[in-house]
A and B are shown apart, each in its own frame.
Chain A
Amino acid sequence: MSFWEYANPVKFLTLSERVLPWLWGSAAVCLAVGLIWGFFFTPDDFRQGSTVKIIYLHVPAALMAINAWFMMLVASLIWVIRRHHVSALAARAAAPVGVVMTLIALFTGAVWGQPMWGTWWAWDPRLTSFLILFLFYLGYIALWEAIEDPDTGADLTSILCLVGTVFAVLSRYAVNFWNQGLHQGASLSLDKEENVADVFYQPLLVCIAGFVLLFLALVLYRTGTEIRVRRTRALIARESRVA
């Protein structure tokens, strides 16, 4: 029994069908608990007031926006090295989810920044590199859409993903050099004892778990759809050849 067995679309579909209801359910529970807890049962921050509560959308979305790209990178590598179709389709399925996460992070950031920094947008390194990440997502999706042959598309987009990752990281540090930051430090990091006070921290963790589960559920679901679309196409092609 190895992990690679799930490269077989049939096995992948049976597994994902068994797992998906649980994923959807736990994502919904985590998000509901985390958001309601965060929005209604935490105190207002003494300086930021109730705007602090946007953290429950902003931080998990930003985290998932980056991790979605990372997941696409891993899936692309698996496609390039081992040529499992499910992997290429998973990368394709993750991209639109990643774009939406990036947009949520940018939008909630702007909504929070207006009362707190007094501006919707600033050319801060973090904000700028997120905007660049958004552009990379757009290019990746546009390339998938433009190519008709699915295998060629998978090859080209996976190489674009590899090259894009290098340049995205490069841009991330280049913009640091280019402008000083307005954005505060990371809300979560492993090397610090406490970045956010506990009252805000616990619901935040629940929200992050909810976003991760939601992302997994969406990607599995969309990958399943892509597999079925491709099967349908193959059936139609066979039918038309017979007729």
Chain B
Amino acid sequence: MRALFVRDLALALRAGGGFGLGLAFFLIVVVLVPFSVGPSPELLARIAPGVLWLGALLACLLSLDRLLAVDWEDGALDLLATSPLPLEGVVAVKAGAHWVTTGLPLVLVAPVLGVLLNLAPAGYAVLVLSLALGTPALSMIGAFGAALTVGIKRGGLLMSLLVLPLYVPTLIFGAEAARRAAQGLDPATPLLFLAGITGGVLAVMPFAAGAVLRVNLR
């Protein structure tokens, strides 16, 4: 299990493109927003929490189609399926590695991009906290989507269609928490809901993803 985790991390770090691209995409989305809505500081401050959450979500989605597809194409997934580690564990570990290489950097870089969008000072801590709570759920749901579409050629677009509706609750509570904090309100309720969703997703989704992967490997 640890070996698989280290292997996935090493692959993501060395393969060039996978690791930095998500961050670069996040940066570009955030830079494009003022171009599209205008540079007014008040407007940017108001939409900043939502834009940062949306950008993080899209950046997360971007790298998902490589999550399982590479191992599917070169047959490594078949080997993993015959290993003593159950497929549920394989998917969970891969989602974990995806989170460390995509979600975690997004969380760390979000406050810097918050400065660009004139985010209110009260919002930073909760923005980071809500992203840190929410992005593991995004990775795990995404792993389920990737497992669903792994057998389909050019499944990336289909995967977005399947995964994005599943992201709705996470996005609602995450962005709501960041927005409330930025406006000086109490963000505890949405944060608790967000933590609940992430906990539930982490507990149940590996089984759904494992079942789907087993069907695809049949």
- B-contacting residues of A (Cβ < 8 Å)? 132, 135-136, 138-139, 142-143, 146-147, 152, 155-156, 159-160, 162-164, 167-168, 170-171, 174-175, 177-178
Interface pair A177/B208, CB less than 8 Å apart: no
Interface pair B148/A143, CB less than 8 Å apart: yes
Contact of A177 among B165, B190, B205 (CB under 8 A): B190
In the A-B complex, list the 6 residue pairs whose CB atoms are closest, starting with the nearest: A155-B215, A174-B169, A135-B165, A139-B162, A170-B169, A174-B172
Take A139-B161, A146-B152, A147-B152 as given contacts and tell me if A177 and B166 are in contact as well, using a CB distance cutoff of 8 Å.
no
Interface pair B148/A167, CB less than 8 Å apart: no
Q: How far is the CA of A131 from the CA of B205 in the complex (A)?
A: 24
Min Cβ gap B162→A in Å is 4
Interface pair B166/A167, CB less than 8 Å apart: yes
Take A146-B152, A162-B208 as given contacts and tell me if A152 and B169 are in contact as well, using a CB distance cutoff of 8 Å.
no
Min Cβ gap B130→A in Å is 14
Interface pair B161/A142, CB less than 8 Å apart: yes
Interface pair A143/B158, CB less than 8 Å apart: yes
Q: Please report the number of residue pairs spanning A and B whose Cβ atoms sit closer than 8 angstroms.
A: 73
Interface pair B193/A156, CB less than 8 Å apart: no
Q: How far is the CA of A156 from the CA of B218 in the complex (A)?
A: 12
List, in ascending order, chain B residues with CB within 8 A of A174's CB.
168-169, 172-173, 193
Q: How far is the CA of A200 from the CA of B41 in the complex (A)?
A: 52
- Among residues 106 to 151 in chain B, which have CB atoms less than 8 Å away from a CB atom of chain A? 144, 148-149, 151
Interface pair A163/B166, CB less than 8 Å apart: yes
Chain B residues within 8 Å of chain A by Cβ, number: 27
Interface pair B218/A175, CB less than 8 Å apart: no
Q: How far is the CA of A118 from the CA of B42 in the complex (A)?
A: 29
- Among residues 169 to 218 in chain B, which have CB atoms less than 8 Å away from a CB atom of chain A? 169, 172-173, 176, 190, 193, 197, 205, 208, 211-212, 215-216, 218
Interface pair A156/B216, CB less than 8 Å apart: yes
List, in ascending order, chain A residues with CB within 8 A of B158's CB.
142-143, 146
B89 contacts the other chain (CB 8 A):
no
Q: How far is the CA of A162 from the CA of B144 in the complex (A)?
A: 13
List, in ascending order, chain A residues with CB within 8 A of B152's CB.
146-147
Min Cβ gap A138→B in Å is 6
Nearest opposing residue in chain B for A137, CB measure = B165
Take A159-B208, A160-B148 as given contacts and tell me if A152 and B168 are in contact as well, using a CB distance cutoff of 8 Å.
no
B18 contacts the other chain (CB 8 A):
no
List, in ascending order, chain A residues with CB within 8 A of B162's CB.
139, 142-143, 160
B155 contacts the other chain (CB 8 A):
yes
Interface pair A152/B144, CB less than 8 Å apart: no
Q: How far is the CA of A178 from the CA of B171 in the complex (A)?
A: 11
List, in ascending order, chain A residues with CB within 8 A of B176's CB.
177-178
Interface pair A159/B151, CB less than 8 Å apart: no
Scoring B161, B165, B212 by chain A CB atoms within 10 A of each residue's CB, the highest score goes to B165
List, in ascending order, chain B residues with CB within 8 A of A146's CB.
149, 152, 155, 158
Q: How far is the CA of A74 from the CA of B155 in the complex (A)?
A: 27
List, in ascending order, chain A residues with CB within 8 A of B166's CB.
163-164, 167
Interface pair B148/A171, CB less than 8 Å apart: no
Contact of A152 among B151, B155, B172, B193 (CB under 8 A): B151
Q: How far is the CA of A136 from the CA of B208 in the complex (A)?
A: 17
Q: How far is the CA of A163 from the CA of B148 in the complex (A)?
A: 12
Nearest opposing residue in chain B for A167, CB measure = B166
Q: How far is the CA of A138 from the CA of B163 in the complex (A)?
A: 12
Cβ contacts A to B, 6 pairs, < 8 Å: A132-B168, A136-B165, A152-B218, A155-B212, A163-B208, A177-B172
List, in ascending order, chain A residues with CB within 8 A of B208's CB.
159, 162-163
Q: How far is the CA of A234 from the CA of B169 in the complex (A)?
A: 43
Interface pair B173/A159, CB less than 8 Å apart: no
Take A152-B218, A162-B208 as given contacts and tell me if A132 and B173 are in contact as well, using a CB distance cutoff of 8 Å.
no
Interface pair B212/A178, CB less than 8 Å apart: no
Interface pair B165/A167, CB less than 8 Å apart: yes
Take A142-B158, A146-B152, A147-B151 as given contacts and tell me if A164 and B197 are in contact as well, using a CB distance cutoff of 8 Å.
no
